[in-house]
A and B are shown apart, each in its own frame.
Chain A
Amino acid sequence: MNQQNPAKGHPSQDLAAPDGQAGVPTHFTDPGHPEHQPRQSDLHPAANKRAERQVVLLFAVSVLGTIGFLVAYFAVPPGETVASMRQSNLLLGLGLFLGMFGIGAAVVHWAKSLMNSEEKAEDRHTLRSSDETRAAAVEMLREGAQDSAIGRRGVLKGAMVSALLLAPLTVVVPLVGNVGEDWDVSKFKSTMWRKGMKLTIDPSGRPIKASDLTIGSVFHVIPEGLEDTEHPLDEKAKAVVLLIRLDPRDLTEAEDRKGWSYDGIVAYSKICTHVGCPVALYEQQTHHLLCPCHQSTFDVADGAKVLFGPAKRPLPQLPIEVDDEGYLIAQSDFTEPVGPSFWERLK
């Protein structure tokens, strides 16, 4: 466009130094400080006086805040109720805020409006040391190396290198050991469920009869005797089960799992196959089971298959049956590892 209208000129020509190429200047000169602009408080004594009063006021706010904090500390104790604790916290926090913020704001305002506003520049010194200093430093290092005779005393050198290399192990070994702690992944492949173990209610531990479940009811289940194990929380994290009764007409069952349910009662692992959150949001009308973490949705009426979300596998089903007294018991452990995938899962 510019070439077609030479009358308008090329805008970058104005900036080009005489020896520049293709319109690019070789260097820019330092434009220096912008011109100093006096403030209102520099020009008018009244404005100066006003700024001073503002600073005093901000300090006064701080003083009042501190006094308020102390008064609240003694006069409004936290007490026993939620309301009194909240009131105490609110008053202490407000006092603390005003006490600290008042000082900060006053100091900044003081510096900005009352102290002089002349722009100043402090140039950097060159980074390179003088030649004498550099020569002296090299000489010192050379003397030191010669004095220690590191080039000749081989055993000494070897001992030093060994010590330096070994010392970091005091940090590294416990660190790696604590991170791993237990490298046995086989325990993720099984849970504490065994044949004949009763299904009990979490957290009360009451055993469950098949007749206890009405259609649409949900039981959060732990294995019998969970609290007697060595690490109940570790066992619970794998063994929790969701027990649901559906109308048997709504239930679709795979051929090889026909015997795993009892009269419409199904039991599925509560550990999501995505990253192991407890899947527990059960919608009784749609038979959908939702994971609260990433919205994986499982269809309880159809083998807990995945309907939506990041989970890749259905929830493992716990085969159940009823004992002579009518209590629900497990037929066996889960037939596959529960929870998220891991490398050795199916080995």
Chain B
Amino acid sequence: MKALATRRRSRFAPTALLLLALLITGGLYAALAPSTATATASVATASDVELGMKLFQANCATCHGMNAQGSEGVPSLIGVGAAAVDFQVSTGRMPMQANGPQAPAKTPQFNEEQTAQLAAYVASLGAGPAIPTDEEIDGSQGDVANGMALFRTNCAMCHNAVGAGGALSGGKYAPALWDTSARNIYQAMLTGPQSMPVFNDNVLTAEEKRDVISYVEAQRSGSPGGADLGAIGPVSEGLWVWVVGMGLLLGCAVWIGAKSS
């Protein structure tokens, strides 16, 4: 005990104590905190709707109105369905951080449980598209070739032939699809968020939507030819050829022509 008492005055003691305290707090939190990762797409209960309404009134009602009726320049959410809410909130697009031509994807503000509650509340306001099932969004069951034909006709003009995204007018853009989850791809087709048109089940049936997901996912393993430079076409490829490629050729020509010292 005496040895401990003398070390108490060491100049490292406060740091050591602080680290110990942090470790204990973190360990206890990890052990006791409720796990949020296990939230499942269970059937919405009345309490979900109730909690969702509270979340909505605290976070969304400023723009969308106390009863989600919308206002000038802000869409009504009655009848948009759970799929639209899940897409917008789980990708962080809503709540919007600032006014602009487009609401960008960002770190989501709500966890899965809160998102599900918000979706349950909005779904209770009017009938709309529901969140797709795991079966519907399983790209491994889709037909990649048919997905390509559909993607080429319906999606490629904005999202690029392999889903690398592209520009629209007035600062708007079609986002890249490299990291978009299958569920979000499906929901975007179903609900037509922001500038995107709606691809309801009559335009693209549920199976066709799954084919599109297969195609998008198949593009993520890259190009067999080598580096695709972002797959955005002549800008990155031209930069590479003109600056790096021709720069190397010029360097070689100068070296060959220069006198040896």
A292 and chain B: residue at smallest CB distance: B157
Cα of A285 to Cα of B193 in the assembled complex, Å: 9
Question: Which residues on A sit within 8 Å (CB–CB) of B153?
Answer: 202-203, 220
* A88 to B224 CA separation, bound complex (whole angstroms): 9
Number of interface residues of B (CB under 8 A): 33
Q: Is the CB of A213 within 8 A of B202?
A: yes
Q: A82-B224, A203-B149 are in contact. Are A288 and B169 (CB under 8 A)?
A: yes
Residue of A nearest to B224 (CB): A85
Binds A, one of B3-11, B40-48, B89-97, B253-261: B253-261
Nearest 7 CB-CB pairings of A with B: A212-B202, A85-B224, A218-B197, A217-B198, A283-B195, A112-B260, A280-B157
Least Cβ distance of A88 to chain B in Å?
Answer: 9
Q: Residue A49 at the B interface, CB < 8 A?
A: no
Are A81 and B221 in contact (CB-based, < 8 A)?
yes
Instruction: Answer whether residue B200 sits at the interface, using C-beta atoms and an 8 A cutoff.
Output: yes
CB closest residue in chain B, given A297: B169
In the complex, 21 of the A-B residue pairs with CB atoms within 8 angstroms, ordered by the A residue number, are A39-B259, A82-B221, A82-B222, A82-B223, A82-B224, A83-B222, A90-B226, A108-B255, A112-B259, A117-B260, A203-B150, A203-B153, A209-B202, A212-B202, A212-B203, A214-B200, A216-B197, A217-B192, A217-B198, A217-B199, A218-B197
Taking a contact as CB atoms closer than 8 A, the residue among A41, A78, A244, A297 that contacts B260 in the complex is A41
A194 at interface, CB cutoff 8 A: no
- Residues from chain B with a CB closer than 8 A to the CB of A117 are 259-260
- List chain A residues, Cβ under 8 A from B223: 82, 86
Task: Tell me the complex Cα distance, A90–B202, Å.
Answer: 44
| Nearest neighbor of B202 in chain A, beta-carbon distance | A212
Q: B residues 170-195 with Cβ under 8 Å of A?
A: 170, 172, 192, 194-195
**Interface flag for B158 (CB, 8 Å):** yes
CB pair A281–B200 under 8 Å, yes or no, is no
Residues in chain A near residue B195, CB distance under 8 A:
283-286
A264 to B189, CA, bound (A): 21
- Minimum Cβ distance to chain B for residue A240 (Å): 9
Closest to A244 in B: B197
In the bound assembly, the distance between CA atoms of A217 and B189 in angstroms comes to: 10
Using an 8 Å CB-CB cutoff, how does the interface string of A324-337 with B read, 1 for contact, 0 for none?
Answer: 00000000000000
**What's the Cα separation between A86 and B221 when bound, in Å?**
10
Interface string of B129-173 (1 = CB under 8 A from A): 000000000000000000001100110011000000010111010
Known: A89-B226, A112-B259, A284-B197. 16 other contacts (CB 8 A): A39-B259, A82-B221, A86-B223, A86-B224, A90-B226, A108-B256, A202-B153, A212-B203, A217-B197, A220-B154, A282-B197, A283-B168, A283-B172, A290-B169, A292-B157, A295-B169
Judged by a CB distance under 8 angstroms, whether A201 is at the interface is yes
**Chain A residues, Cβ within 8 Å of B200:** 212, 214, 217
Residues of A within 8 A of B34 (CB): none
Question: Least Cβ distance of A180 to chain B in Å?
Answer: 31
For B192, the chain A residues whose CB sits under 8 A away are: 216-217, 284
Q: Chain A's nearest CB lies how many Å from the CB of B142? A: 15
A86 CB contacts on chain B under 8 angstroms: 222-226
Within the complex, the shortest CB–CB distance from B260 to chain A, in Å, comes to: 4
- Residues in B neighbouring A213, C-beta threshold 8 A: 202
Q: Which residues of A contact B172 (CB under 8 A)?
A: 283
Does A26 make an interface contact (CB < 8 A)?
Answer: no
Chain B contacts of A62 at CB under 8 A? Answer: none
Chain B: CB-nearest residue to A215: B198
Instruction: Assess whether B196 is interfacial by the CB under 8 Å rule.
Output: yes
B157 CB contacts on chain A under 8 angstroms: 278, 280-281, 292
